[in-house]
Chains A and B, each alone.
Chain A
Amino acid sequence: MKKREPVLIANRGEIAIRIARTCKALGFPVVAIYSDADRFSEHVRIADQAYWVGGAAPKESYLNVELILGAARASGSKYVHPGYGFLSERAHFVEACQNAGLVFVGPSAQSMRLMGDKIEARKTVDSLKVPRVPGSAGVVKTPLEAQAIAESIGYPVLLKAAAGGGGKGMRRVDSSAELISAFEGATRESLSAFGDGSMYVEKLILEPHHVEIQVFGDGKGGAIHLGERECSIQRRHQKVWEESPAPILNRFPKTREAMFHAAVLVAKHVQYAGAGTFEFIVDGKGNFYFLEMNTRLQVEHPVTEWVTGVDLVAWQLLLAAGEFELPKIPERRGSAIEVRLYAEDPQTFLPAPGPLGRIALPSGGFVRTDTSYSGAGEVSVHYDPMIAKISVWGATREEAVARMRVALDEARVEPPKKGAGVSQGSLRTNLPFLRRLVRNATVISGNTTTDLIQSHPELTASSEELISFEGALAAALFELTQDAGALSLPSSVWSWVARKEGMRL
């Protein structure tokens, strides 16, 4: 195996592990960083070297440029891979790496500034005549200004944080009356999350599908696409189910080609280096509009890896090492789906992290699980509550959906239990929601729009009122055969009562 120089992975959790695996396969030694909360985490255990970079809060550790660069220096790292989130889209971090003599695995600071900032990106795509959603020309600073723009483009409109991502600092506004309080809320959220309260306003597209194009650039003006992903199924504006190919584009193959063309055109124009994603919104008639570019590896990149057979992280690393020639566009085969398993309430989608007792994630043919959890531990309140990404491949979409159903039925994520099987702690997961999702007729048909969850209340409704006969019998036998069951006296007359707790928020 070829010996290469060490890669510092400036991240944690499943993505740090995923990057480390490819590093090891290619002969790059792995340097991990960790916060107080991650001392015993899996991404640290599998690394060749590990450096402490501060307290549990991201600001003190995974966003702490000085200590991260210190770790890179001390470990003799040559490369820094940022993963996604944290410092992955901060141009100043790219420059800090370069100034420290390190190679940042990703695009240049300049193309990051051109495409990573939403307002700059709009100017760039406008100059190349790529269509985008009507909206404010630049940053909107006051609610009154936002109101004037909203009137001119028509309600409903969307308020979005200029520095935002992942739905943070984003609000839908249906009327002039709601705008002012929504603007204030979004600004406050954006200020606390990103340190920047700038907003912009845009028209809300009806019957929207979220479709994104994966590109890869060589940094010298060459770029190719690696197909698309549809991520229309979202809760709280965050993706929960991603797939390729996009069912909506199967209805509009010309739109697919036009989107590939647009994405590659822009990537070449900014001399993009490495993996990047162009996010578009596609309406029910096959019109597409540019939304934004993510200048990093995406959470949902396994979907693309399944259909193309390409290890995107290997391409990133080899490009950074100067050993990469852009190949021709890879052929895409079959259908892949990924779901995100979160520590959250399956009805409200509010985060519900906490101690973890038992975790059993699906495996088997054509099933991939990306996770940093392997046993009892804790889903920390300090970081993103994602527990795992489960992805599957099938020769057809139908086959992939069926495989995903089996995978989700196999999964178990449980808080710790004390005697009599009673759970301890606050951990809940969206697994019940995902199991409903994979059985939903609209999801099975593939015609999903970004409002799927709002328009299908049965996905998040409380469970059925009346227990089935089999369920009732199982409950009786479960209780009666329990060692410390409530009824140890065989002659008891007993009853079950289904009672709702009133105070669950």
Chain B
Amino acid sequence: MSIIQGKVGSWKLCFKLVPRGPSGTVQVEVDGKLIDVSWRRDVDGIWLELPHGVFGFDFRGETSDDGMIHYDVSERNSSRSWSKICFMGAGEESLAASATSSGVKKGARIRAQMPGKITRVLVAPGETVEKNRPLFVMEAMKMENEIRAPQSGIVSQLKVSEGQAVETGAHLCVLDPA
């Protein structure tokens, strides 16, 4: 009987004991097969010892707007990585999914990704824009960068004007669904 189980991506994992502590060994059932896995945590993430080899992963968490922790996972000694993975308890998944869809209904907030100066505003409120259409030209680190629409939509809540200096994360405008 499994003590603790769940799903990561497409992998269904059942642990036979609750893993605890910085290192240890546990049995995990996957696709009906039992595998012994040893783990060892370190400052950047975790090492795994599996029957077919040793694998290390770095974890970097970031708190997103919705308060959830999103992890970037990168495999050590490899260039493989997976981003924006977040962990939810049972029942929270459907909750998060509905939060996401209502988020889209409210519109997509466009933010400044770094401090700089808005040199040009290329759209006006009420304008319909296609995906990838340049919205703003921003000067930062002595370079001109275009900020493009991540999706199509209607421009609203335009918060900046030409010549304005902005900080990281500053709200520039919102794209409402067309």
Contacts and interface: CB of A to CB of B under 8 A. Distances in A.
Report if A and B associate in a common complex.
yes
Contact of B111 (A188, A499, A503): A503
Contacts of A463: 80-83
Nearest to A414: B60
Interface residues of B, number: 86
Contacts of A384: 141
Interface stretch (A63-71, A86-94, A226-234, A347-355): A347-355
Nearest to B140: A351
Nearest to A492: B89
Contacts of A494: 4-6, 87-90
For chain A, the bracket of interface size reads 35 or more
B110 A503 contact: yes
Contacts of B90: 492-495
A504 interface: yes
Nearest to B108: A503
A197 to B, nearest CB: 13
Contacts of B43: 358
Contact of A481 (B41, B81, B145): B41
Interface in B48-103: 48, 50, 55, 57-64, 69-71, 73-90, 93, 96, 100, 103
A206 interface: no
Contact of B141 (A351, A409, A468, A476): A351
Nearest to A435: B79
A496 B114 contact: no
A488 to B, nearest CB: 10
Contacts of A478: 41, 45-46, 57, 59
A345 B82 contact: no
A499 B7 contact: no
Contacts of A49: none
B109 interface: yes
A192 interface: yes
Interface in A320-374: 345, 350-354, 358
Nearest to B70: A501
Contact of A469 (B11, B21, B41, B108): B11
Contact of A193 (B79, B142, B145, B150): B142
B7 to A, nearest CB: 5
A463 B84 CA distance: 10
A493 B9 contact: no
A474 B46 CA distance: 7
A149 B95 CA distance: 61
Is the contact region of chain B dominated by helix, strand, or loop, or is it mixed?
Answer: strand
B141 A499 contact: no
Nearest to A166: B142
A386 to B, nearest CB: 11
B59 A421 contact: yes
A486 B87 contact: yes
B140 A481 contact: no
A501 B64 contact: yes
Contact of B142 (A192, A477, A505): A192
A383 to B, nearest CB: 9
Given A193-B142, A420-B69, A477-B48, A468 B80 contact: yes
Contacts of A470: 48, 50, 55, 57, 75
A421 B140 CA distance: 29
B113 interface: yes
B156 to A, nearest CB: 15
B20 interface: yes
A395 interface: no
Nearest to A438: B79
A385 interface: yes
A345 B37 CA distance: 34
Interface string A408-423: 0100101000001111
A420 B60 CA distance: 10
B21 to A, nearest CB: 6
B140 to A, nearest CB: 6
Given A475-B85, A477-B19, A486 B69 contact: yes
A384 B86 CA distance: 33
Contact of A499 (B11, B21, B86): B86
A490 interface: yes
Nearest to B50: A470
A464 B72 CA distance: 12
A462 B4 CA distance: 32
25 contacts: A185-B144, A350-B140, A381-B114, A409-B77, A412-B58, A414-B60, A421-B60, A422-B69, A432-B81, A469-B30, A470-B48, A471-B73, A472-B8, A474-B46, A474-B57, A480-B19, A486-B87, A487-B87, A494-B89, A495-B8, A496-B8, A496-B87, A500-B84, A501-B84, A502-B150
Interface of A: 168, 185, 188-189, 192-193, 236, 345, 350-354, 358, 381, 384-385, 409, 412, 414, 420-423, 426, 432, 435-436, 439, 462-464, 466-481, 486-487, 490-505
- Give the 4 A-B residue pairs with the shortest CB-CB distance, closest first: A472-B8, A494-B6, A467-B9, A496-B8
Interface of B: 3-11, 13, 15, 18-22, 24, 26, 28, 30, 37, 39, 41, 43-46, 48, 50, 55, 57-64, 69-71, 73-90, 93, 96, 100, 103-104, 108-111, 113-115, 119, 137, 139-145, 147-148, 150-151, 168-169
